[in-house]
Amino acid sequence: MPAVFIGHGSPMNIILKNDFTKHLSELGKKLPQPEAIMVISAHWLTRGTFVTCMERPQQIYDFYGFPAELYDFKYGCVGSPKHAAMTKKTVKGIEINCSDEWGLDHASWAVLKHMYPQGDMPVYEMSLDMTKDAAFHYNLGKQLADLRSKGILIIGSGNMVHNLRLMDYDTDAPSDDWVVEIDEKIKRCLLEKNHADLIDYQKLDTSIRKAIPTLDHYLPMLYIIGMQQKNDKLRFVHEGYQNNTISMRCFVLG
């Protein structure tokens, strides 16, 4: 299976029709059909690494103050305890814990709503251990790469540039120069397979602390490039910005 990174942006994309949601819909039709989907979520932050292990994961509306239409939407997919157990066995030297308390947050279902609108694929999530550094997450991604050969579509869902403190509430607000410059630097590293600079991201640019004020939305991308194999080609399936300070860049490896 390919491996995918999605820059998911605002929850408003659940109901918006724009280039981003159009490209997600097109992507879902082009990818080979998976046995299950694992989403590495920027919105599930933990001490230790967890996967959801329930048959029927709850749908989590982890956002506030948005239109009622977003909270009324139901994405009725099932979980996949079998593939969650497979994930636990695949990783060596790092304990992967089972969770029956989380579910699917909007980093998962808000994206899958466009890619697989029928909700007919089993889905489970993996959390981010926020006690670990960037290199840990990249190296865990390397171990997870073996799941691709077992029919699992792995999606990292976050945003490469993500600053909510400086964002504009207008979805289509133009982006500041520093947002575009850093997004382009990340793009260049991805195309050159320069993973070292993406792991040691603080050296990329003097504005990097504004672009990545916290690691949560950046880390899912490191998992996906950690899975890159020798013959994998990287292609961007969406490029753009929302709310000034959010890069919506998405790519596929495979």
All structural domains of the chain, each given as residue ranges with its CATH number in brackets, are: 3-253 (3.40.830.10)
What pLDDT, on the 0 to 100 scale, is given for residue 244? 98
Residue 123, beta-bridge partner list = 37
C-alpha span between 43 and 232 (Å, rounded): 28
Residue 7, beta-bridge partner list = 158
What pLDDT, on the 0 to 100 scale, is given for residue 42? 98
Spans of the chain, pLDDT less than 70? none
Residue 51, beta-bridge partner list = 98, 126
What pLDDT, on the 0 to 100 scale, is given for residue 207? 92
pLDDT more than 90, % of the chain: 100
What pLDDT, on the 0 to 100 scale, is given for residue 205? 92
What pLDDT, on the 0 to 100 scale, is given for residue 194? 97
pTM of the model: 0.97
Q: Is 43 helix (H, G, I), strand (E, B) or coil?
A: strand
What pLDDT, on the 0 to 100 scale, is given for residue 4? 98
Q: Is 128 helix (H, G, I), strand (E, B) or coil?
A: strand
What pLDDT, on the 0 to 100 scale, is given for residue 135? 98
- What number of residues does the chain have? 254
> Could you report how far apart the first and last alpha carbons of the chain are, in Å?
7
pLDDT of 5-20, one tens digit each? 999 999 999 999 999 9
pLDDT of 26-35, one tens digit each? 999 999 999 9
What pLDDT, on the 0 to 100 scale, is given for residue 179? 97
**Tell me, what DSSP letter sits at residue 46?**
E
| Residue that is written with structure tokens 């694992």 in the block | 38
What pLDDT, on the 0 to 100 scale, is given for residue 249? 98
What pLDDT, on the 0 to 100 scale, is given for residue 85? 97
